[in-house]
Structures are given as structure tokens and as C-alpha cells.
Amino acid sequence: MSAFICSNSHIATIAIAYTRLIGGDDAQALADELLAENIRSVNYRYREDTPVEPCDLSEHEADTRTPPELVALCECLDYQSCEHPEWETSNAHQLLELITAQFRAGPVDHRSTGAGSSPRHSERTTMSTIECSQDYRLRVTVTPVARPAGHYHLKIQFQWLGAKDPEGLQTRYAVTLPQRQLYEIAATIIEGCRP
């Protein structure tokens, strides 16, 4: 199996398209993390020592790539980054799984409150309403908490529209976890849904 370092344009396209899709503003940090893992993989595979540098975002194709093309870019990056033994448990791998799933799903119905501008921003709450049927919907909310630092509160509620109080929400699951563990939950769901 061979591996290569993906171009800055390749990785910038993924990072910029994703942050635009979710309403984020930290494409640079995302691109840098993805590129670093890709370089780490190639260095491991070929016993090289290519230095990790920031990803150049100046050239990208985020404005012209279709969702299937973005998925293909993610799959290519995944393949080129999987050579080192820690890839499967790396934060970059978890992020890439989430990004790929989001490109497949398209825009999310989410509303935000607070001053933040990306789901990883410390002051932002993200909420998504999932229409399961005409009578039943889920509401998923992720909210950063002040303490402990780096933790988020995940709440999953359901709404039965045929109930006495159709506007009432019932909490089915609520937990506060560090960001890394929330990524692990999301990655497990994504992996479990693969054909």
C-alpha cells in the first residue's frame, strides 16, 4: 500500500467547505490538524521526517466542488492518512469521519445562540431538530459548559406531536463529556451506520 501527502488545496477545500457548511470560522485549525496527520502517516510509512507546517488555505476549490466530490476528497485523505498505528484513534480521524458524514448529509437544520461562530467555539449552543415521522421528532442540543473546561453538555429530547401537550419535550438522554468523547460517540454512530 502506498501513501502520499495530499496537497494544501485538497485539504483546504475540505476544511473550508466544511466550516462554511456548519457556519464555522476555524478552517485553518481544522486544515492544520488534517494535514499534520496525513504527514505523520507518510512519515511513518516511508520512515521519513517531513516537517509539519501550517496548511496554506489560499488555494482551494470549496466554491466549486459538489458534495460527492467533497466526500471523495475526504475518502482519499482518509486513505492517505491511515498508515500509522494511531490513526484509528486520532482526533483527526474522528473529525474526518464527522466531516465526511456531514458532506453526505448536506446542510444541518440548526440554530445557534451566543457569540460563537462554530460548534467548537466555547460560547455556542448548537441545536438540531430531526423529523422522525409526522408525529415524532427529536431535538439534539450540544452546549459548551463553563466547567470543567473543554466539556460539552449533550441533550437528546423527543417531542410527540399527538400528545396532550404537543409542544412538550421529554429528555431521553443527557450527559456532560469532554469534546473528545463526544467525537467518539459520533464516530461510533457513523461507523455503525455504514453499509
Q: What is the 3-state secondary structure (H, E, C) of 152-187?
A: EEEEEEEEECCCCCCCCCEEEEEEEEEHHHHHHHHH
φ/ψ (deg, to 5) at 156 = -115, 120
Do residues 26 and 118 make contact, with C-beta atoms less than 8 angstroms apart? yes
* Inter-residue long-range contacts of 102-111, CB under 8 Å, 24+ positions, other chains counted: 102/18, 102/21, 102/22, 103/17, 103/18, 103/21, 103/67, 103/70, 103/71, 103/74, 104/67, 104/71, 106/67, 107/21, 108/21, 108/22, 110/22, 110/23
The per-residue pLDDT for 111 is: 41
Cα 88 from chain centre: 15
Mean pLDDT, each 10-residue run in order, the chain (195 residues): 91 94 85 96 96 97 92 94 90 87 65 36 69 88 79 86 79 83 82 76
The per-residue pLDDT for 119 is: 37
C-alpha closest to that of 21 among 139, 115, 101, 130: 101
Q: What pTM was estimated for this model as a whole? A: 0.58
Q: Rounded to an integer, what distance in angstroms lies between the CA atom of residue 56 and that of residue 60?
A: 9
The per-residue pLDDT for 63 is: 92
Q: Where are the domains of the chain?
A: 1-107, 109-195
The per-residue pLDDT for 123 is: 52
